[in-house]
Amino acid sequence: DTVPVEYLRDGEMQTTQMTLTKRSLPELATTPDELAQTVRRTHVEVDLALTELIRGVPEDLLARPPAEGEWSVIEIMSHLLFSERYLYTWMWAMASGDDAVPWNDNNILQRVPLLALYPSAAELLDELRRSLAGLVALAKAIPASVVENKPLFAQMAGVFAGFAGHATLHLEQIRQTLAAVAPANA
């Protein structure tokens, strides 16, 4: 269907036509073991890409934001780590019957504690890898009562599937950040 859409831009009401399409959904795991394999595969891909991106880059460049108010590479990595740890809480809440765990914003309190614990890119990468082991264990341990609740398990699998897209966006952000902070003669 094509429907009219009204929106406000620069204080003026605009109208356009929007064609509605079916949203394609990824194939979702149907068992905890399949989910664990999916989580592992996604994280291995992210780990390989991230490892390649930061290989040989001096730590001072990894800690340099491209502009005021933007994140450095290590801040982006700490955000990815925070996001993985957030998944622990979200999955726990969902398994307990509450899927309303809010993601408020990306304020500094998300990154500062992790950067104090893991100040270098290598330490963050190691902790991301450890966090992966926890997420794989979490996926395998989802109780049968949750798996039997097919809509709930599908929602959990969908949340995990969404992490791949989230990580891909931040890998691109890291590429752009590295390009912006690279010395001019490099």
pLDDT (tens digit per residue) in 11-48: 999 999 999 888 776 788 999 999 999 999 988 999 99
Query: pTM of the predicted model, to two decimals?
Result: 0.83
Q: What is the C-alpha separation between 171 and 186, in angstroms, rounded?
A: 21
Cα 44-71-10 angle, rounded to 5 deg: 115
DSSP code per residue over the chain: -EEEEEEEETTEEEEEEEE--PPP-----SSHHHHHHHHHHHHHHHHHHHHHHHTT--HHHHT--SSTTS--HHHHHHHHHHHHHHHHHHHHHHHTT----------GGGTHHHHHH--SHHHHHHHHHHHHHHHHHHHHT--HHHHHSHHHHHHHHHHHHHHHHHHHHHHHHHHHHHHHHS-TT-
pLDDT in tens, 58-90: 999 999 999 999 999 999 999 999 999 999 999
**Is the pLDDT assigned to residue 185 strictly greater than 60?**
no
